Amino acid sequence: MIAEGRTAARYGRVVTLPWRQREGDKGMTIINHRCAVLGKPIAHSLSPVLHNAAYRAMGLDDWHYGKYEVGEGDLEGFLRSLDPQWAGLSLTMPLKKTIQPYGEPSNMWAKELNVANTVVFDWAAPHPSGISGIPAIRLYNTDVLGIQLAFEHAYGVRGVVIPGDRSREAVIIGNGNTATSALAACTMMPDIGHVTVMARHPGKNPDLEPLARKFLPGEHPIDIVGMDDAVGVLSKADVVINTIPGHAADGIAQELSDAVSSVTGTLLDVVYDPRPTDLMKAWKGHGGAIIGGEEMLLYQAMIQVWLMTGVWDGDPPSEAMDDSKRDSALESAMRKALEEAL
């Protein structure tokens, strides 16, 4: 348990910090298991809405999920301040790489990408590197599967049948950590055979090309280009994933709004505030289909819940991800809570 005040002073501003609740306190629920999302900034995060809704749906009345503003320099101190009540953490900017020295990558994409958005604590085991005061930590990446499931859900709602011949084109806007997860998700989509990454600084992320060459067939599975012909690149895309935050894509949205060409692909904008983004509005106005970032958020959070509560201890098996076999009650509860919050 983190001490009130001490955390605020030493480990960053606490946005949500539940009091330790004592058995017998009138009207209080006893909390035995804690999780939270960390990042900086963090006030906008809707992860507590999703996770707490999941706990209610699963009957986990003694679980609670909060949010804490923690920067890169605060992370180790925060980890040292926890006790065995803590089951797991979600990580957002700028911590998805900062966490790497403290944990063991434990699913496929955490190992491949060295980017993790999920921490699961193992208090029964000492830290393998002998770091004092920190238990063994398992690291997972649920962003990749969250992106893939967001597209699968959208296609299912629209009744779209996706070819399995890898004949289609994907475009990723941006080349940061989220773009790396987006590229990994594209390699898992059976229809995607080529990816174009469009970024203001094309050489910024040298890991993208080897990742595409490892997991996509063909001699030339990826192009990394600048923003000079954004509309031309986007107009040829079957799948678009925008990974640049906030209003950074508003310029592209304006170019698209001013263009006469139409689009036919599906856009996932990982941004969910504002909702819809200018890019989503422009894309839909030119004939394309849109997916809000809240869909990715929902699915990556659902997998996090399974990991942190011990339902799964690795990547969920493929049959668990099938629409007909997923926990529909859990998904519905999380979706309802998210829609109410938005």
Q: Which two tokens stand for residue 185?
A: 């998700």
DSSP H or E stretch at residue 316: none
Is 204 in a helix, a strand, or coil? coil
CA 171 to chain centroid, in Å, comes to 18
Whether 257 contacts 277, CB under 8 Å = no
Cα separation values, 29 from 63, 87, 309, 337, Å: 9, 18, 18, 20
Is 219 in a helix, a strand, or coil? coil
Compute the average pLDDT of residues 129-158: 92
Alpha carbons 75 and 70: distance in angstroms, whole number: 6
Is 331 in a helix, a strand, or coil? helix
pTM for the complete prediction?
0.88
Give the other-Cβ count within 10 Å of 82's Cβ. Answer: 18
Q: What is the pLDDT of residue 127?
A: 77
Whether 52 contacts 22, CB under 8 Å = no
Alpha carbons 261 and 175: distance in angstroms, whole number: 25
Is 269 in a helix, a strand, or coil? strand
Choosing among 3.40.830.10, 3.40.50.1820, 3.40.50.10860, 3.30.1200.10, the CATH entry for 6-141 is 3.40.50.10860
Compute the average pLDDT of residues 196-207: 95
Alpha carbons 202 and 102: distance in angstroms, whole number: 30
Query: 145-154, 190-199, 322-331 — which is least confidently predicted?
Result: 322-331
Q: What is the pLDDT of residue 12?
A: 38
**What superfamily would CATH give domain 145-295?**
NAD(P)-binding Rossmann-like Domain (3.40.50.720)
| Phi and psi torsions of 251, nearest 5° | -65, -40
Give the other-Cβ count within 10 Å of 56's Cβ. Answer: 14
Q: Which class for 165: exposed (0-12), middle (13-18), buried (19 or more C-beta within 10 A)?
A: exposed
Compute the average pLDDT of residues 196-205: 95
Please enumerate in sequence order all residues whose Cβ is within 8 A of that of 8, keeping only pairs 6 or more positions apart, or say none: 14, 17
Which residue has 């979706």 as its token pair?
335
Mean pLDDT over each residue of the chain, to the nearest integer: 88
Whether 39 contacts 69, CB under 8 Å = yes
CA 321 to chain centroid, in Å, comes to 16
Compute the average pLDDT of residues 205-231: 96
Q: What is the pLDDT of residue 271?
A: 87
Cα separation values, 215 from 61, 183, 185, 282, Å: 42, 10, 10, 32
Residue 325 — very low, low, confident or very high, per pLDDT cuts 50/70/90? low
| Cis peptide bond prior to 41, omega within 30° of 0 | yes
pLDDT over 60 at 135, yes or no: yes
Written as one letter, the residue type at 171 is V
6-141 and 145-295 share one fold: yes
Domain boundaries, the chain: 6-141, 145-295
